[in-house]
């Protein structure tokens, strides 16, 4: 069994920061845990505006606080994000 707290993960170097300082992410579960998936707690900073491309993996994101929007590059469609919203990047989205 794996038991890990957010604080422990941060103290053990599992927290990373984007080069542009738009977000930080603490990796609670990674490939070396041999579960077949990962689990992260990510904070996107207020006012952040950036592009991401999920070229090599799929991802689901659940918003627990704050508000914003995501926009798909392919068609320019915008989706409002608020607490209780999940968005799923299931097509190697940009």
Q: If you average pLDDT over every residue of the chain, what do you get? A: 93
Band of residue 56 on the pLDDT scale cut at 50, 70, 90: confident
pLDDT at residue 66, as a whole number? 96
Return the structure tokens found at 7.
């604080």
Q: Are residues 65 and 31 in the same domain?
A: no
- Give me the number of domains the chain comprises: 2
- Give the tens place of pLDDT for each residue, 15-42: 999 999 999 999 999 999 999 999 999 9
Domain boundaries, position 61:
51-94
Alpha-carbon span 26 to 11, nearest angstrom: 10
Record the pTM. 0.84
Q: Are residues 4 and 42 in the same domain?
A: yes
* Higher pLDDT among residues 73 and 5, named by residue: 5
Alpha-carbon span 26 to 10, nearest angstrom: 6
Element (H, E) at 11: helix 6-11
Does the pLDDT of residue 54 top 90, yes or no?
Answer: no
Q: Which residues are CB-neighbours of 83 under 8 A, at least 6 positions away?
A: 63, 64, 65, 66, 67
């Amino acid at each position: 069994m794996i038991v890990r707290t957010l604080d422990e993960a941060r103290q053990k170097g599992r927290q990373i920061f984007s080069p542009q300082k738009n977000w930080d992410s603490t990796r609670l579960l990674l490939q070396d845990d041999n579960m077949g998936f990962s689990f992260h707690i990510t904070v996107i900073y207020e006012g952040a505006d950036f592009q991401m491309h999920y070229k090599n993996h799929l991802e689901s994101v659940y918003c627990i606080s704050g508000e914003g929007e995501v926009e798909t590059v392919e068609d320019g469609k915008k989706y409002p994000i608020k607490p209780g919203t999940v968005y799923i990047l299931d097509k190697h989205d940009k």
